[in-house]
Amino acid sequence: MAKFEIYTDNSDGFRFRLVASNGQNILSSQGYKAKASCLNGVESVRKNSQDDSMYERLQSSSGKDYFNIKSSNGQVIGTSQMYASAAGMENGIASVKTNAPDAELVEV
- CATH number assigned to the domain comprising residue 48: 2.30.29.80
CB 41 within 8 A of CB 16: yes
The 10s digit of each residue's pLDDT in 75-98 is: 999 999 999 999 999 999 999 999
- Band (pLDDT 50/70/90 cuts) for residue 30 is very high
Quickly state the pLDDT bin for 73 (edges 50, 70, 90): very high
Domain that holds residue 100: 3-107
pLDDT computed for residue 31 by the predictor? 93
Confidence of residue 106 (pLDDT cuts 50, 70, 90): very high
Q: Per the structure, how many domains does the chain have?
A: 1
Residue 50 pLDDT grade (very low, low, confident, very high; cuts 50, 70, 90): very high
Quick one: the chain helix, strand, coil %, rounded to 5?
30, 35, 35
Record the pTM.
Answer: 0.93
How far is it, in rounded angstroms, from Cα 42 to Cα 107?
12
